[in-house]
Amino acid sequence: YNEAPTSNTGGSTTTPTLPNESVPLSSSAGKAIDLGLSVKWADRNVGASSDSESGSYYACGETSTKDSYTLATYTFYDSNTNTFTTPEGYDEISGSKYDAARMTWGGTWRMPTSDEIAELINNCTWVWDDNRGGYLVTSNINKNTIFLPSTGFMNDNTAYNVGMAGEYWSGTNYTREPMYLDKHGYRLVIQNQTDPYVMDSNKEIG
């Protein structure tokens, strides 16, 4: 999922690439659904033609798909020094040139922040659909809906847990514990019989 914000906020304004990289609106861009929240949400994933399709997979901060999702192929990992970097040192890449939604769909589309994902969780009713394999998300404010399919995740060249769980990147870097600094980013996790939640994960995963 990705979102069209009512306004572009967050991040630093000291570098022109962040947080508002200007990209022409793509003809493949999704439709913005108003759930009565601070931002609008897409009717489907980037790379999908319907709301039930998983769409494209991206490592956190990368804007192109690839054949293998590993440390060795991750743009922001240096195997020589075994170190990670965060793009330009920013803790929020939503709306930047490191945002797959912005760079693929253009316009005002962007990845959500971790706070915006929490807002979606807390202000909607989530009902698992066994037939479609994902969550129907209904706004408690205006009853509009989006559907989040269980996309699974890409590790190396294999998609795991498709149809059972879904993992969606935010643009927010994980900064709480030094041992995971720059290695992890925040993501939404959905799975059957479990309430949706936000947690951190390795950024090289798709």
What is the distance between the alpha carbons of residues 106 and 48, in angstroms, rounded to a whole number? 15
pLDDT for the residue numbered 3: 53
Question: In this predicted structure, what is the pLDDT of residue 7?
Answer: 36
Task: Quote the pLDDT of residue 2.
Answer: 54
Q: What pLDDT is attached to residue 6? A: 38
How many angstroms separate the CA atoms of 115 and 159, rounded? 27
- The per-residue pLDDT for 21 is 84
- 28's tokens: 């493949």
Mean pLDDT for each consecutive 10-residue tract of the chain (206 residues)? 43 54 95 98 98 98 98 97 92 96 97 98 97 97 98 97 96 93 96 95 98
Asked whether 188 and 168 are in contact (CB, 8 A), the reply is yes
Helices (H), the chain: 100-105, 114-122
Q: What pLDDT does residue 193 have?
A: 87
pLDDT at 11: 38
